[in-house]
Amino acid sequence: MDSPQAVAELKSILEVSTAATQWAIAEEIHEYISQTLGSSPVPRWSPPRESGALAHIADLMPLMPSSVAVQGLVVHLSMDQDGCRLLQSALESGDGAERAAMSMEFYGHVCDALESPHAHHVLQRIVELMPPSSVSFILRELQSKWSPAFVARHRFGCRVLERVIEHFPACPHAGAELAYFLEGILQDAAPHCYHSFSTFVMQHILEYGSVEQQRAIVSSLCSDLWRAALDMHAVGALDKALSFQPFEDQVALASAILDSEGLLTRMALTRKGLPVARRLLRVIDGANLEQARRQLSGDAAKLARSKGGKALLSAAKLGDHAIFDSSADKSSASNNSGAAPRQHLMLDSVIVAQSETPVPDQAHMLSVSDKNSGVFSSMRDVEPFIPVMNAPMMQPMMQPMMQPYMMTGWTMCQDEDGNFLVPGQQQMLQAASCDSNKSEPWWASTVAEVSSLWCSVAPEGPAHKSVALD
């Protein structure tokens, strides 16, 4: 049992063995599980560890009487990391009688199992597989120790309660017990919608509960609709309300959201609220739909920055013209007010605005720079420098394409006061090279040579005199 190979061999034997042999093997496995768990008191949970032999035995449960293998060990196994998986496999492979025998062992241990990070999965599986009338004791034990609000806010209790809400309404007797249990939650529904755990319980009530329960939750949220629509937890309850309420109630909730001017757009700009905005568009029509389009078109440029926002605009049948109009209106409003544009308006103009001015070429930029710069005022007729390709293979190819100019010296210019001006790129004069083997390119100059040229004292001479420094 300690190795996967041994479990695989036992599995092959069980597949071809008789019922009596399978029963005998189940008893042997029960003894092995008892020795593995030990005789220590049942802990509420076991620390995380690598999967051991119990995880491999879980694959054998469909091939033997599962209730025999785990009889008397259900609670202890449910608290173990690997044992809870083994127990879930046993529940899935057993028949109704075997499941009932295993679930009965949780009598008096439901609250302990609920606080375990492993056993609460077994409780959920029992609620899913067993008839509600057979496992209604789970709800009674929870109510005997804790309040409904505490269970709904519990990190593991909320999950068990979700499974109960899904399955118990199908049974009249269990449904009545569940309705009595949920009354304690619905009395103060709004705070549960804003809680990170109990919000999922409220969403399940909106999906599986009665119309009265749905309306109680929606009424509590509508008391502060702005907060609910912009809260990352409560907005999920609005989504369920727009999906599972009666249609007339869905339209009423959508109208309340649209009547709060700007709320639809603010909600659509959040990650959790975007699906709710799309759901709202599927509910409304006529005047409500036109009102939604008008509100969304006001911030169409913002919505178009995300993939989900584009899908929302497409669902609202707002084309690209709405995006351009929204950005243009905001830009004109900012210019008319005389205030500095906000960051999002600047981004809108960058994303949406289409530049109609042609991009100037390099010659135009150089001419403008020469006219506006005092440094280049005396050097307007200088051609841009073109380096010579001295590589033997490249020179024959490049010579027909450009003139072989070489840098023989740098010219420094003086202004009217006799001060030297710092040479720029266009101040590097070119001279036709007659013998490329004797001349060196300008980039061969060392830093020391360049510094000495720049720092040398200018000779006396008239203003605007060009002095060639070789």
Q: Over the stretch 162-183, which tens digit does the pLDDT of each residue have?
A: 999 999 987 888 888 898 889 9
pLDDT given at position 299: 82
Domain boundary among 335, 366, 395: 335
Q: How far apart are CA 161 and CA 175, in angstroms?
A: 13
CA-wise closest residue to 174 among 120, 121, 212, 137: 137
- 170 found inside a domain: no
Please state, as a whole number, how many other Cβ atoms lie within 10 Å of the Cβ of residue 275: 17
| Angle at 400 (CA atoms; ends 397, 402), nearest 5 degrees | 100
Same domain as 392, residue 329: no
309/398 same-domain check: no
Which tokens belong to 403? 């003139």
Task: Verify that 313 and 242 share a domain, yes or no.
Answer: yes
Q: Are residues 319 and 392 in the same domain?
A: no
Q: What is the pLDDT of residue 338?
A: 45
Cα separations (Å) of 467 from 292, 408, 423, 427, 440?
74, 13, 12, 12, 20
More confident: 377 or 15 = 15
Task: Give Cα separations from 190 to 51, 150, 215 (angstroms).
Answer: 42, 15, 12
The DSSP bridge pattern shows strands 410-413 and 405-406 to be unpaired
Residue 92 lies in a domain: no
If asked whether residues 309 and 245 sit together in one domain, one would say yes
Decide which of 302, 335, 368 is a domain's last residue.
335
pLDDT in tens, 318-359: 644 444 455 555 455 444 444 444 333 333 443 344 444 454
pLDDT of 43:
63
Query: Distance between CA 230 and CA 249 in Å, rounded?
Result: 21
Does residue 314 lie within any of the structural domains? yes
Judge whether 81 lies within some domain.
no
**How does strand 466-469 pair with strand 431-432?**
unpaired
Query: Do residues 233 and 314 share a domain?
Result: yes
**Radius of gyration over alpha carbons of the chain, in Å?**
40
Find the mean pLDDT for residues 410-439.
48
Sign of CA dihedral 448, 454, 456, 459: positive
The SS3 assignment for 433 reads: coil
> Do 461 and 397 belong together in one domain?
yes
How many domains does the chain divide into? 2
Residue 398 main-chain phi, psi, to 5 deg: -90, -25
The reported pLDDT for the residue numbered 44 is: 61
Whether residue 310 is found in the same domain as residue 391: no
| Domain end call among 335, 356, 375 | 335
Question: Does one domain contain both 327 and 400?
Answer: no
Q: Is residue 394 part of a domain?
A: yes
User: 228 with 322, same domain?
Assistant: yes
Is residue 434 in a domain?
yes
Please say if the pLDDT value at position 89 is more than 80.
yes
For the segment 46-55, the average pLDDT, to the nearest whole number, is: 66
Task: Give the DSSP H or E segment for 468.
Answer: strand 466-469
Distance CA 367, CA 351 (A): 31
Q: Which residue has the tokens 């939750």?
A: 217
Q: Are residues 396 and 301 located together in one domain of the fold?
A: no
DSSP 410: E
State the residue range of the domain holding 408.
387-469
Q: What is the pLDDT of residue 350?
A: 38
- Name the token pair of 416: 């009217």
Residue 61 belongs to some domain of the structure: no
Residue 191 is predicted with a pLDDT of: 95
Residue 408 and residue 306 share a domain: no
> Does residue 98 belong to any structural domain of this protein?
no
Asked if 283 contacts 254 with a C-beta cutoff of 8 angstroms, the reply is yes
Say yes or no to pLDDT of 446 above 70: no
For the ranges 78-82, 123-127, 413-417, the maximum mean pLDDT occurs at 123-127
